Every structure is written in C-alpha cells, then in structure tokens.
C-alpha cells in the first residue's frame, strides 16, 4: 500500500500560484495532461483546462458560479480588495 502512495506522489506535480486581479489562483499540472486551477479563498472553486491558457480563461466562470451559489445559499462572502 505504501508503494502505491509513493508512486502517486511522484506523478503529482507541485502546484504553482498566479496572482491575477489580487486573486490567488493555484495551478496544478495533471499527470494525464492539462491543468487544474483552484481559488484557495473560495473553497471548492475549481476548473480544468487542457492548456494553461484554457484553464486561466475558465476560472472566471468558476468564480462567478461559486459566488452566485454562495449568494443563493446565504454563504458568507468575505468582501475585500480581491472581490
């Protein structure tokens, strides 16, 4: 079992961060190709793109959707410079 976990860790790349419009975006290159991008300030907000550019362009829709659902569900949204 331990060797399976070690192999999985080797396959996973380290995340890297991009700050855009004061929002921290976390990117991870996926072993099968493409990128997953998350917004650490918005738990569960994520998307995927086959290229870095595609993932970057899709995150705006993911953020808008996350904020819309949070508003509908009366989830507290921290208002600051980033939003």
- pLDDT by residue (tens digit) across 21-42? 889 999 999 999 999 999 999 9
| Claim: this prediction has a pTM higher than 0.85 | no
What is the set of domains in the chain, with CATH numbers? 10-72 (3.30.160)
Q: What is d(CA 50, CA 30) in angstroms, rounded to the nearest whole number?
A: 9
Tell me 34's DSSP state: S
Higher pLDDT: 9 or 43? It is 43
Helices (H), 1-83: 2-11, 52-72
Between the CA of residue 62 and those of 9, 31, 66, 76, what are the distances in Å?
Answer: 27, 22, 6, 17
Sequence-separated (6 or more) residues with CB below 8 Å from residue 6: none
Higher pLDDT: 78 or 45? It is 45
């Amino acid at each position: 079992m331990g060797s399976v976990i070690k192999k999985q860790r080797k396959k996973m790349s380290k995340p890297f961060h991009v700050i855009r419009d004061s929002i921290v975006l976390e990117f991870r290159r996926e072993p099968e190709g493409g990128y997953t991008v998350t917004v650490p300030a918005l738990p569960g907000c994520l998307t995927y793109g086959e290229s870095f550019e595609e993932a970057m362009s899709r995150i705006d829709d993911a953020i808008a959707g996350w904020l819309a659902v949070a508003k509908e569900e009366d989830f507290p949204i921290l208002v600051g410079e980033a939003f």
